[in-house]
Structures are given as structure tokens and as C-alpha cells.
Structure 1
């Protein structure tokens, strides 16, 4: 199957591309700027403007839509851009579009999540057969939050917030399986093997880094904080991934202490 991957240069895209190739698929990768890769056909396209989308979807049988812009031009890229992609895919006769979203977009009151939920709705309302996978947060994202929260010395955060980090490689494998299975016309969820409180994640992180920074508890106020403490970022569905937060940290730091 010839598969178009948007957002192919991102973390998840880098995990998806080799798995698609290993599965015997022909891969066309899209990013905003052209790239050189002898194993993948790279094309430049811009979701925010629509430039290059018609050529990108021409001749492909399925689209794996990973592209997102959480910081800037989010509505233009995630919502309007997804609409442009769906329209172009329909004109090209694409048989399956898989969209990657985030667990909690329907429960956590956060601006970026509202855009992701709106993009899901664009996909579901469109004419192209579809599937949606909501994944929990990657461990690299959680680690970045911890680094940011400890810039002033102690690790600052709400100890009762819960998360369920999932390995991006396992999400990539799940996506490849969904492509092979065909359109589900449903929203599925996929999370990591453990639900962790923030204070538990901090303890494991400090141990892996050989750090003794104290945790300074600060309660996140309002509806946003309540959603995070009540498990808005977690899922109860199975199956889940298998790689734990501790295994990620061991692979990252290798028992050598702080980096």
C-alpha cells in the first residue's frame, strides 16, 4: 500500500516511517520543507495554506495524519489544515485516513486540546473513510515538563496530577496495524502500561538522574487542575503499551546519573 505520512519529521513520524517500510508499504513523507532520503519519497506541503497537498495525496491509498502545531498557527494547521487534507484526499480517491489525537481532548479544558478535538470532528464528518487513535503523552514530553518545572531548583508541580506515558514506538506500531485493518469509523485510545501520579514520576526521575531536588507541591487551580487530577489524561482501555516510565529513564540515563 502507498501511504502518505504528514508530520513525518516529528518524533512519532520518525518512528512510523521505518515500521511502514518494514511492513512492505511504499511511503511518501510530507513536511513543510523538502528533505533528502533514499528510502522514502519526501514532498513539501503546507497544511496552513494548502500548498502542495494535491500533489502529496496524488496516487496514495492511505493517509496517516500526524502533523500538528501546538504552539503557533494551531487553528490554521490542525483544524483548517486537516479540512484541506481531507478534501484533497477525497478528490484523490484515498481509501483510508488515520488521524492521531490525544487522550483527554474531550475532557481536559485546554486550548490546544479543543483544536485537536475539532480536527477529529473534521475527519469524522468528512467523506474519506477514517480511523482516529488518541494516544497518551510520550515520556519525552513528561520529562520535558519535569525539566521545565525544576529550572528554579525544586521540582514544582501538583503531586496529585496523573499521567500515563506511552512509548512513541509502540504508538507507531499501533498505527501501522490500524492502517492494515482498514477504516474503523471509530475513535480508539492507546496508553502506557502505568498510571503515575506526578510525585511518583518525579521520584523515579530524580533517582534515574541521581538528583536530590525536592518536590515543591503547588496545586493547579480550576477546572483544568481538577481534570488533570481526576485522570483526564489517562485511559482505561486495553491493550496498552508495555514500556514503562522507569524503562524509558533507564534507557535515557543508563544508570550514569545526571545529564
Structure 2
């Protein structure tokens, strides 16, 4: 039985990874800012981090924040993992972090570099956006009387449970370096995703396509965040919406 630490283990992805590893018979420790007994803010560090890593063989690093601090958090985690003799560090990243000049993507790419140079055995998996995030974005857009969509943009949402399955699989295997990207089953126009969302939620909104400017928008339009050659996901966006609606009824 392997002792595994999952950072961000109470989050959307980390919680599912934790469940799968425990079901597989592994001892799993959950590290997050508020989860006892390993409540640690990786951005600040502290003595609790060394205690959380004592005796751990593998770390699955899911903790992340679009508001900043990922590089500092990863640096502290890696230093503590070295001290603890961790053998394998698994990191979840995002497809396109090397092609889309978004601040959060740049931070994720920097963390990939830290992981690769850590001196630990390592594995990095990049995935496309989760269905959950796409729904959050569309929900925000739908609050306006007119739904404003970035013209020409596409997405390839993937089911978070499937990404959790893959991460759990990688965590119990040998370090594999950068593995193949994981994308959702379909590359979809943002328009089609928005209309599916409106239909599923029973909302009526006119949809307007707005051309944007800047390097980040151009990179998204060019599909820098997509992985059509790795469309290995099975769950579609409509299936996710149906399940979500059933769960809220």
C-alpha cells in the first residue's frame, strides 16, 4: 500500500482523485488550507507541510489558484518533498500553457518547469478545461440581458471525473515525465456550448459574437488551448448538463 498526498484534495478534481486512490487501497492524505489534520497554505508554508509529507511516497499536486501564488506554492512543496524523500510528484496542468499567453497559464507552465527540475521522479498531465469551468463562465455571461461571446472561439471541455481517473492511474505508476494530453471528446464552438447551456437551464438570451483583441484572444482563436489529436474523453457537455440538472432537481 502506497502513502499518497493529494494537494488541493478538497477541490473539484482533488476530491475525486482522493476517492479513487482510497478505493484502490492506498493511504491518502489530503492537504488543503482548511482540511485537518494537514491544513497548510502552500503559498505560506509552515511546519505542517513537513508533517504532511513524512512517510509519503507520491504527491499528486492539484492545488492551484488563478489569483496567483502557484509558483511559490510549488517551490515550497518541492523543497519539502525533497526533504521527505518523496519518490514521485504528479502534476496536473492545462493544455496550451505553452501557447496561450494568459497569466494563469504562464504560472502553470512555470510550475511544470519547477517539477521537471525538481530532482524528483515526476509526471505531468495536461488536460483541457473541465465542463464545470465552462458552465461557470457561461453562467456569468448569461446574467446579462444579451449573452456576449468571444467571436470565433472554441473549446474542448472534458469530464473532471475522467481526468481524476487518469491522475489516479498515473499516481500509482512509475514516473513517466510529460504524458500525452487529455482532451474532451469534442471540439465545440463557444456558440454551440452557450446554446446547449441556455437550453439546459431554460433561459432565453440573444447571443452576440464579439471580436476581441490581444495576443491571448488570438491564441484562443487559433486553438492553442485545444488538443483535437487527444480527444480521449468520453463524457459530452450535454451529458454533463443533464446530470447537473438532475442533481439540482
User: Shorter chain as normaliser: what TM range?
Assistant: over 0.9
- How far apart are the structure 2 equivalents of 1:237 and 1:55? 42
User: What is the aligned partner in structure 2 of residue 128 from structure 1?
Assistant: 120
Question: 1:224: Cα distance to partner?
Answer: 1.3
TM-score by length of 2: 0.94
User: What is the aligned partner in structure 1 of residue 42 from structure 2?
Assistant: 47
Would you say 1:209 and 2:236 are equivalent positions? no
Question: 1:254: Cα distance to partner?
Answer: 3.9
Deviating more after overlay: 178-187 vs 89-98:
178-187
Gaps of 5+ in 1: 36-41
Contact 1:208 1:255 in 2 (8 A): no
Out of 153, 161, 177, the position equivalent to 1:185 is 177
Change (3 A) 1:255 1:177: closer
Gaps of 5+ in 2: none
Structure 1 residues 125-158: Cα deviation after superposition (integer angstroms, max 9, x where no partner): 1111100011111111111111111222111111
Question: 1:88: Cα distance to partner?
Answer: 1.0
* 1:73-222 pair list within 5 angstroms: 74=68, 77-222=69-214
Contact 2:151 2:212 in 1 (8 A): no
Out of 228, 234, 244, the position equivalent to 1:242 is 234
SS at match of 1:156: strand
Would you say 1:23 and 2:19 are equivalent positions? no
RMSD between aligned residues: 1.7
Question: 1:205: Cα distance to partner?
Answer: 1.1
Change (3 A) 1:237 1:63: farther
How many pairs were matched up?
247
